[in-house]
Structure 1
C-alpha cells in the first residue's frame, strides 16, 4: 500500500523564487532564509519520496473570478510553470501522478468532499517555490507532484476545520492505494503577512510561533481557529495557513517535529518552515 510518511510546511513567498533563480540565495539578506532549508534538502535526498501532494493556492494564474474552486485537485500528467507577468520561472515542468491523483479524487468525492478535478493548468509560485526550496537547482524535479489548490484568495475560504478534515480524508485515500509508494504531503503559504492597506507589512511573531507549536503533538486546537482571528492577528494573507492544516490533518493524531525554521523578514512577510513525522 502507499504510505504517507511525512508532512512539510513552508511559506511560498515569490521573492524566494526570485532569489533562487538569480543566485542570491546565499547573500547577506537571503542567506539566513535559505539556510533554514539546508537540513530539509539533505533529508529529502535521504527520504526519496515518490510523490508529493502539494497543497498551495493559485494567484490568478489558473483560476480567476470566472471560476473559484474551494478545493481543486490536479489529475494531469504534467504542469508547466505559469507566466505571472514576467515570464515563466526557468524551472522544470511539474510531472503528475495521474493514477494516484484520480484515486484520491474518487476517494474524496465518495467521502463527501466536492472536489474540482483539473486535468490541464499551469502552476505558479505557490507550487514551484516550495519545490525549489526543498530540492534546489535541478534539471528535473525528483518527485511526482499532485497539485491541490485551495481558495484562500477570494471570500469565503474554507475553514481550518474543513481543511483538517480534508487532510484526514486524503490520508484514508492514500492508505487505500495498492501501489507501494512513499508519499509526502506539503502545506504551503503564510505565515503572517498583509500586502496592502494601513496594516501592510504586519508580522506577528508570537502568533506565528504559537501556530508552529500547535502543529506538533496530539492537540487539534488549530483546526478551530476562526477566520476572523487569522485576519486580526496575521493580516489579510495570513489565512493561507489553513492550507497547513490539510497537511497536519493527514498526519493523524500525533506528530513529531523533525525540523523547524522561522525567519523575519522576507520582503514584508514572515518565513515559516517545518518538517513533521506521523507517530503511531
Structure 2
C-alpha cells in the first residue's frame, strides 16, 4: 500500500524563487537562507526519493479570486502549468500530477465528511513552485532540474480571505489524508508538505513584523507527541505573527498526517528573507 514516509514544511516566499531564477542564491544576502535547504536537497536525492508529494499550499489570487474561494481544494489533473503572476511564468518545469492517487484521496476525504473542491484545470503559482525549487534544486546554485523528480498532488487551503479554516480542522484534514493514502493499494513512497509562513505582515502599520520567538515555538510544537498547535486560535496567529502568519495552519495539515508522534530530521530558521522569516522543518512519523 501507499505510505506517508515524511513531512516537510517550508516558507514559500516569492523572492526565494526570484533568487533561484536569477542565479542569486550564493549572494551574501541570500546564501544563509538557502544554506538551510542543502541538507534537505541531499536527503531527498539520495535517501528519501518520494514517488509523490502531496503539497499543501495557498493560491495567491491566481487560480482563485473573490468569485470562487474554496476552503479546501485538491488538484486531480495530469499536469499543472506554472502561472503567470504578472511578470511571466517562472522558468520551472510543468508539475506532473498523480490523478489516480488524487482522485482516491478526494473520494476518501469526501466520504470522510470533508467537503473538498475538485480541480481538473489549475495553474500553480509561487506557493507551490517555490517549495519545489527549495527542496529539489540540483546543485549548490539550486539550479532547477529539467523535470521535477516526483509527481505532485496540489492541496490548496484558503488562508487569504476570512474565514480560514482552524488549525484543528487542518490537523484533522491531515489525519484524513493519511487514512486515504494508507488505503491506496499501489506501493508508493508519499511525502506531505506544508508551505507558507512564517511570521510576516505585508501591509499596514505592522508591515515587516517578524516574531522569532513565536516562530521557533511553533517549530518546537511540530516535534514529538504534542498536539497543542491544533488548538491555537486565529486571533493568536494574527496578534503574534501578522496578517499573513495564518499561512502556518497549512503546516498543521502536514503534521496531522504524520500521526501521534514525530521525529525531527532537520530544522532551519533564518531572518530576513525579503520581509519574511524563513522556516523549514523535516519530520518523520514515529511508528
- CA drift at 1:20: 0.3
Query: TM-score normalized by structure 1?
Result: 1.00
Cα distance in 2 for residues equivalent to 1:214 and 1:55: 19
Matching residue of 1:212? 219
Cα distance in 1 for residues equivalent to 2:12 and 2:231: 24
**Alignment gaps of 5+ in structure 1:** none
- CA drift at 1:221: 0.2
Matching residue of 1:39? 39
Asked whether 1:80 is paired with 2:81, we answer: yes
Secondary structure at the aligned position of 2:53 is classed as: strand
Secondary structure at the aligned position of 1:43 is classed as: helix
Asked whether 1:130 is paired with 2:131, we answer: yes
- CA drift at 1:222: 0.1
Matching residue of 1:248? 255
The RMSD of aligned alpha carbons is 0.3
Cα distance in 2 for residues equivalent to 1:202 and 1:79: 33
Asked whether 1:9 is paired with 2:9, we answer: yes
- CA drift at 1:2: 0.2
Matching residue of 1:102? 103
- CA drift at 1:176: 0.2
**Alignment gaps of 5+ in structure 2:** 138-143
Cα distance in 1 for residues equivalent to 2:274 and 2:52: 31
Matching residue of 1:54? 55
Matching residue of 1:223? 230
- CA drift at 1:187: 0.1
Cα distance in 2 for residues equivalent to 1:117 and 1:146: 12
- CA drift at 1:52: 0.1
Asked whether 1:276 is paired with 2:283, we answer: yes
Cα distance in 2 for residues equivalent to 1:202 and 1:48: 36
Matching residue of 1:261? 268
Matching residue of 2:180? 173
Query: TM-score normalized by structure 2?
Result: 0.97
- CA drift at 1:203: 0.2
- CA drift at 1:234: 0.1
Matching residue of 1:151? 158
Secondary structure at the aligned position of 1:12 is classed as: coil
| Aligned residue pair count | 280
2:167 to 145, 160, 164: 160
Cα distance in 2 for residues equivalent to 1:135 and 1:217: 26
